[in-house]
Amino acid sequence: MAHVFVSRRLPGSALDRLSAVHDVDVWPEPGPAPAAEFRARAADAEGLLSMLTDRIDAELIDSCPRLRAIANYAVGYDNIDVAAASARGIPVGNTPDVLTDATADLTFTLLLAAARNLPSAIETVIRGEWGPWEPARYLGYDVHGASLGIIGLGRIGQAVARRAEGFDMTVRHTGRRGGVSLATLLASSDFVSLHCPLTPETYHLIDAAALAQMRHTAILINTARGPIVDQAALTQALHAGTIAGAALDVTDPEPLPKDDPLLSAPGVIVAPHIGSATHRARERMADLAVDNLLAALDGRPMPHQVGREP
């Protein structure tokens, strides 16, 4: 029986399976554990089930001499120093596939809401400012027949492309699967949707220069990672009318401070990182994370191990 630290309570019954065979310590509070408390609880752990918001760096890994497995409750794993874990022979697992459709659905939700100025229109009703019908009020942009540029044609990017087919959109993409150049995509797209991983190469990929290449009627959607976008440049571009809007499920940092300048920019929608927030997706994520831990702690390969071919 191994000692496992789980950094947050999870939906579904996956943790019951883990607790049936291992000693499981679950952080009981709704928010993240303070850094010192996290480190103390992880110090004796043989297995660690972490959230995307938990920073598992080399220093933390070094402070856990018994650690044998890390399971991240996310598809991405940029919060983990995988090289440091690998140097210790510690496998790292993630939760691919199960949140693809949920995130693609949210991407299109944000795209549609931004295109039609839905949040601001709803707000006028709430404030009692609906007013008489006016031909030029609440105007947005057509989605049907528009052009969509997808940056990163992985599982989620492909799922978004399939949804775009139902709107007769022209889809262009850039990424490891080929496609057009970034400059061509930015210049020719009514909507630009980010689905690439966060790497040193994609950090601030969408900066002031990239935003300047976009159409002034274009809308940027980001359900990938916040630091892919230079937020200061985006805020300035929205105020200047360089682009028409942005719909973000991810920001830098998270959570975004309530006085962040981005929140007062025109044409912006910010959601609190809810791409995978459906009952089914979050429960399946828990199942996969637990499957990874159970396998590794039993001396078997993780079914979803980062850096290992299936």
Q: Which residues are catalytic?
A: 225, 254, 273
CA–CA dist 77, 72 (Å, integer): 7
The type of residue at 94 is N
Place of tokens 């919060």: 79
Place of tokens 């006085």: 259
CA–CA dist 179, 158 (Å, integer): 13
CA–CA dist 218, 190 (Å, integer): 5
- Nearest to 70, CA basis, from 51, 93, 87, 86: 93
